[in-house]
Amino acid sequence: MTDYVIEARGLSKAYGDFQALKPVDFKVPLGRIVGVIGANGAGKTTMLNAVLGLMSFDGELSVMGLDPSKERGKLMQEVCFIADVATLPKWMKVAEVLDYVEGVHPKFNRSKAMSYLGRTKVPLDRKVRALSKGMTVQLHLAVVMSIDAKLLVLDEPTLGLDIIFRKQFYASLIEEYFDEDRTIVVTTHQVEEIEHILTDVIFIKDGDIVVDEDMETLTQQYIEVMVAKDNEEEAMALGPIYKGVSFGKSTCVYKNKDRETLAKLGETRRLGLADIFVATMTGEGQ
Amino acid sequence: MNIFLTLMKREVLENQNGYIRVPVILAGITISLVILAMLGVGELNFVNSMDHHEVENFGDALSLAQQEEGDELPAAVTVGYWALSMITWMAFPFVVFFSLLGSLYEERRDRSILFWKSMPVDDWQEVLAKLLAPVFIAPATFLAVTIAAQLTIALIISVVTLFQGGPVLELWPVGLMIVGWFTAFMHYLILAVWALPLFAWLLFVSSFANRMPFLWALLTPAVLIAIEAMFFETTELVRWIAIHMGGWQEFAFDGFGRDVDIDGPQELFRMMTSGWQGEALSYTLTSGSFWFGTIIAVGFFFGATEMRKRAT
């Protein structure tokens, strides 16, 4: 058994002339929550589809020690995913969805699913078609959380949901599902909502991985300074990767600079993940 | 095995309309027609062949038939029930056609393929389930409805006959009815294995067509047939398709039954139930065109599986 849930070396995907994913290397260990963050069309879904065995790819890729492009069926015993669109079959009743999963998945625990659903308003005898968007996601989450898998991949799982559903979604994921024997890979645009649960971050830009760090290291690297008026020249000399203005003061973002030095320029603070992402994508911080 | 049963169950659920509702509705219509007819033949004195002064209703007609053609009656009744079931079975080819054509197409259109693919089921298992559903499940549900309808019709006619004082027991040739149901199923199975290359073609179309699988399924062979006719002035493809649609029976039963003079329902029934399937099976297993068709079917099956592996 490998120590890594996902190991990719030179993983790439081209559609004709278009290089959707440039050759990338990355490793995801067990017991992590990895955020894959990138703009639309940056290659997130391409990367995840390769990991899930949903498409062919070039390079080496091993997920749970298996080749996803050849052994998807076997792989899905250990891996679960929720794609970025509503995929539950609309013509099925909720109870029939559970019957089906129980019939094909050896690691599905029906009573667990029932207890999750018992806390929602999802009616068992209703067709998926007739459920609200929020209920559909609750059902899907109840199904995947009741499967004893090692890797859970969530591609924009909360798209189109209101804030209360989104909060509940991540709360139940952390409180009732995640442990050191599982790994979750999640992509979302609502970076603020997941940054406190992430242990690792991968930034993707134009089909390439530009950042692959654990959260702690990443957030320590970036410091924003509200530069005091007299220190502007000095601040520029230190080579900020991103410049902005807030409340009439100029702000500079630095990567890998000594905190003590920066503190002399003005008030410092750590950057949130969203700001780090923006700084990385638009500034010279890559 | 459990996985396969679950997949089959899902096929039934997904095709509920075609597999269950359509035959139930058509059988319901047939039963209504029977009820209307029974109400109408309370006074039966207009049928020429039964122009006997003592025949006034259905019960009388049955009594007369019992007296004059007693040997033939059980088979005649059974064949009669099947004649009434034909309305239901007329829908069957359409149900099979459209369920195959939609099977791998709809799941891509509504994106549910991503849910199916998140389960530990291999693509070939999914495709096989979708290919075998019209071979086993569709005829089973149609037959179940047929059996229920035949029993209901027998019951309705029995009640009427009872009131009219006719020989009610003659309406229940149970042994023959059971033989008939079994035979129909077996016969369909042989028809279906012959039609497998056509089934697999529809499945293959449904696995790759991004739009209008219906046109793909029908226009492609139509164009090929036209090209063949224009450039080679032959009709091999259309013949091949016709043979796999049931035309093979022409050859399988060549000579079989020709020397038998079918003079009555009993002969007809006996011929249809005894030996016919055995003859068909031995013809099938030794037929080159059957095995060639099976290879074609396997080819389309693998094509459909490969397409599904790549589909998202």
Place of tokens 């890797």: A151
Is the pLDDT at A283 greater than 70? The verdict is no
pLDDT, chain A, mean: 87
CA dist., res. B2 & res. B80, Å (int):
40
Contact indicator for B197, B296 with CB cutoff of 8 Å: yes
Lowest mean pLDDT across A6-10, A73-77, B51-55, B143-147: B51-55
Global pTM reads 0.85
Quick: pLDDT tens for A213-250: 888 888 888 888 888 878 878 888 888 888 887 777 78
Selected for mutation to probe chain A from B15, B119, B126 (highest A CB count within 10 Å) is: B119
Mean pLDDT on A56-84:
91
Q: In this model, does residue B125 exceed pLDDT 90?
A: yes
pLDDT in tens, A75-87: 999 999 998 778 8
Chain A residues touching residue B115 (CB < 8 angstroms): 83, 87-89
Q: Would residue A206 be called left, alpha or beta, if left means φ above 0 and alpha means ψ between -120 and 50 degrees?
A: left
Q: Higher confidence at residue A131 or residue A2? A: A131
Q: Does the pLDDT at position A285 exceed 50? A: no
Enumerate the H helices of chain B as residue ranges.
2-14, 16, 22-40, 58-68, 73-90, 92-109, 113-116, 123-132, 138-164, 174-208, 213-231, 236-242, 248-252, 265-273, 276-285, 288-310
Tokens of A25: 């290397």
Whether chain B has a CB inside 8 Å of the CB on A130: the answer is no
d(CA B126, CA B118): 13
Sequence letter at residue A227: V
Is B125's Cβ below 8 Å from some Cβ in A? yes
Segment among A103-107, A142-146, A154-158 with least mean pLDDT: A154-158
8 Å CB contact of B14 and A54: no
CA pair distance B174, B278, nearest whole angstrom: 23
How close, in Å, is residue A37 to chain B by CA atoms? Answer: 21
Summarize the confidence of residues A252-265 as an average pLDDT: 82
In tens, the pLDDT along B163-188 reads 877 787 878 888 888 888 888 888 88
Check CB contact under 8 Å for A76 and B115. no
Task: Please tell me the predicted confidence (pLDDT) of residue B74.
Answer: 78
Nearest Cβ partner for A90 among B10, B110, B120: B110
Two tokens, residue B62: 């049955």
Q: Which of A127-136, A148-157, B227-236, B251-260 has the lowest mean pLDDT?
A: B251-260
Query: What share of chain B in percent tops pLDDT 90?
Result: 42
Least confident of A148-152, B42-46, B213-217: B42-46
Closest partner residue to A104 (CB to CB) among B110, B120, B310 is B120
The Cα A36–Cα A23 span in angstroms is: 16
Q: Are A101 and B119 within 8 A, CB to CB?
A: yes
Strands A79-82 and A58-63, bridge-based pairing? unpaired
Q: What is the pLDDT of residue A234?
A: 81
The pLDDT score that the predictor gives to residue B275 is: 65
* CA pair distance A204, A251, nearest whole angstrom: 25
A-proximal residues of B, 23-82, CB under 8 Å: none
The confidence score (pLDDT) of residue A2 equals 47
Please give the residue of chain B at the shortest CA–CA distance from A71.
B122
In this predicted structure, what is the pLDDT of residue B205? 96
Only one residue has tokens 């492609």, namely B220
A258 inside 8 A of chain B by CB: no
Contact list, B309 vs chain A (CB under 8 Å): 72
Residue B135 tokens read as: 């071979």
Among B2, B110, B113, beta carbon nearest to A103: B2
Q: Is B2 on the interface with A (CB under 8 A)?
A: yes
Confidence of residue B259 (pLDDT cuts 50, 70, 90): low
Residue with tokens 């940054």: A195
Range of lowest pLDDT (A124-133, A144-153, A169-178): A169-178
For residue B3, the chain A residues in CB contact (below 8 A) are: 103-104
CA closest to A79 among chain B residues: B118
Give pLDDT, residue A32: 92
The total domain count for chain B is: 1
Spatial distance between the Cα atoms of B21 and B18, rounded to a whole number of angstroms = 6
Of A223 and B23, which is predicted with more confidence? B23
* Phi and psi angles of residue A251, each rounded to the nearest 5 degrees, phi first: -120, 140
pLDDT in tens, B229-257: 999 988 888 888 888 888 777 776 665 55
Tell me the pLDDT band of A162, cut-offs 50, 70 and 90: confident
pLDDT at B70 over 90: no
Three-class secondary structure of residue A151 per DSSP: strand
The DSSP annotation for B191-217 comes to: HHHHHHHHHHHHHHHHHH-SS-HHHHH
Q: Which site among B115, B123, B128, B310 would you substitute to test the A interface, given the most A Cβ atoms closer than 10 Å to its Cβ?
A: B115
Q: CA triplet B211, B215, B218: central angle to 5 degrees?
A: 145
Q: Tell me whether strands A222-227 and A242-246 are parallel, antiparallel or unpaired.
A: unpaired
End-to-end CA distance of chain A: 35
| Residue B111 in this model has a pLDDT that exceeds 60 | yes
Those of residues 6-25 in B touching chain A at CB distance below 8 A are 6-7, 9-10, 13-14
For residue B122, which residues of chain A lie inside 8 Å, CB to CB?
Answer: 72-73
Whether B109 has its CB under 8 Å from any CB of chain A: the answer is no
Tell me, what's the pLDDT at A225? 87
Q: Does the CB of A83 have a partner CB in chain B at under 8 Å?
A: yes
Helix axes B265-273, B73-90, angle to 10 degrees: 60
Of B267, B99, B125, B276, the C-alpha closest to B191 is B276
- Round to whole Å and give the CA distance between A7 and A24: 11
Contact B123 A72 (CB under 8 A): yes
Q: Is A76 in CB contact (< 8 Å) with chain B?
A: yes
Question: CB of A74 within 8 A of CB of A104?
Answer: no
Whether A12 has a pLDDT exceeding 70, the answer reads: yes
User: Is a pLDDT exceeding 70 seen at residue A286?
Assistant: no
- Across A255-281, average pLDDT: 83
- Look at residue A1 and tell me whether its pLDDT is greater than 50: no
Q: What range defines the domain where residue B121 resides? A: 2-310
DSSP per position, B1-34: -HHHHHHHHHHHHHTHIIIIIHHHHHHHHHHHHH
- Ranked by mean pLDDT, the top range of A252-266, B59-73, B192-206, B284-298 is B192-206
What is the predicted pLDDT for the residue at A159? 79
Interface check for A125 against chain B (CB to CB < 8 A): the answer is: no
Rounded to the nearest 10 degrees, the angle between the axes of helix B174-208 and helix B123-132 is 140
- Which residues on chain A are in Cβ contact (under 8 Å) with B310? 55-56
